[in-house]
Amino acid sequence: MRIASDRIDTLRPGEIFVFGSNLAGMHGGGAARLAWQKFGAVWGQGVGLQGQSYAIPTMQGGVETIRPYVEEFIGFAKQHPQLRFLVTEIGCGIAGFTLREIAPLFEPAREVENIFLPERFWQVLNL
């Protein structure tokens, strides 16, 4: 399994920190704040690649509003095999979703060699 650490505070060249954001790109708390402070996230940009980070919006409604952004991310990762995407437990902190709600959105990432998921996402996916 490709497991992303639950404590990411440094990145190697080619590694991308994947975090949950809001559409307004107000990276004020949680992993979004870390992405903004350390990994090049852009204040005011709520979606996509920014420096060594990639934002997936999680604060705009229910789980189904997150799905298209996860699908877009997986497609982006497939198009950039030279990068290594380290996914955080997006949506499971400030946004208030459960692992069982969010992890299944990443089912298509199982076969994408450059996407590393949190261990607890893998636990849900392997049930």
What's the pLDDT score for residue 1? 79
Give the separation between CA 51 and CA 86, rounded to whole angstroms: 14
Q: What is the pLDDT of residues 34-48, one digit of tens each?
A: 999 999 999 999 999
What's the pLDDT score for residue 74? 98
- Chain mean pLDDT for the chain: 96
User: What is the arithmetic mean of pLDDT over 93-120?
Assistant: 97
What's the pLDDT score for residue 13? 97
Q: What is the pLDDT of residues 32-84, one digit of tens each?
A: 999 999 999 999 999 999 999 999 999 999 999 999 999 999 999 999 999 99
DSSP string, 24-89: T----SHHHHHHHHHS-PPTT--SEEETTEEEEE-SSSSHHHHHHHHHHHHHHHHH-TTSEEEE--
Q: What is the pTM for the complete model shown? A: 0.96
Flag whether pLDDT at 127 surpasses 80: no
Number of neighbouring beta carbons within 10 Å of residue 69 = 22
